Structures are given as structure tokens and as C-alpha cells.
Amino acid sequence: MARTKTVATGTATGRRRRHGAAGAVAKNKVSPAVRFTDMRANVGAKFSIAGAKVSEKMTYLRANVMLKLYRLQHPTHPVKRVAATESIRNMKAAATERRRQKVARAVDNAARKRAQVRERRAMAMARHT
């Protein structure tokens, strides 16, 4: 297999790291304390998102194992097999929905923390003028 340009110039996984342009503009305009809080909020959000993804993957794995075990135990019941497959599909859909909600909650919490710190800094600056 020939190497593609993105693999040769990117990271070991083949993906290039691209930095957002929006962060570069804001970095110069805020104090180090606010920047540090932004970093903390982003790290918290990233860990929450990673936890949600791991939780979803574990649920998927458990569902697949359950379905395989059921098929081994009940090889001659097509109706029950269809019902078990449908149940597993519902379990996976619920896990995906939980992950989406956790990701949305993590993003909202990070944005709220950033907004609170910026508001506090603005109030402090207003008091000193």
C-alpha cells in the first residue's frame, strides 16, 4: 500500500493536527488567568466527552457479547433471535443517545464556566476604573 501525503506529513495515526483560527485571535486579548480558566474548562469537557465515548463503547461491547451468547444458547428460535436482536439495537440506540446528552452537557458546562470567569473579570475591571 502506497503512503499518502497526509500520512507522511501528519501524525503517527495519519491525522494532521489543525489548530482553530478562532483561538489565536482571542489569546492575545485576554489575561493569563482567563486563558488558564479556558484551558481548564476545555480539559474538563474533553475528559467528560472521552468518558461518554468509553461508556458508549463498553455498552456496545456488552450488547454484542450478550447477543452472541444468546445465539449460542438458543440456536433454533428464529422469533426469539429477532426479538433479541431488536432489544440489542434498542440498547445501542439508548447508549448513543446517552453519549450525545453527556457531550452536550459537557460542552454547556465548559461554556458556562468560561462565561462566569469572564464576567467576574469584567466586574473586577469595572470596579477598578
d(CA 55, CA 74): 28
Residue 124 within any structural domain of the chain: yes
Residue 93 within any structural domain of the chain: yes
Residue 2 within any structural domain of the chain: no
Say if CB 33 and CB 76 are below 8 A apart. no
Residue 107 sits in which domain range? 32-128
Q: How many residues does the chain have?
A: 129
Residue 16 within any structural domain of the chain: no
Residue 11 within any structural domain of the chain: no
Say if CB 31 and CB 120 are below 8 A apart. no
Which of 18-22, 24-28, 39-43, 69-73 has the least mean pLDDT?
Answer: 24-28
Residue 21 within any structural domain of the chain: no
pLDDT beyond 60 at 93: yes
Output DSSP code: residue 19.
-
Sign (positive/negative) of CA torsion 28, 34, 37, 42? Answer: negative
Please write the tens of the pLDDT for every residue from 47-82: 999 999 999 999 999 999 999 998 888 888 888 888
Residue 37 within any structural domain of the chain: yes
Residue 107 within any structural domain of the chain: yes
Domain tally, the chain? 1
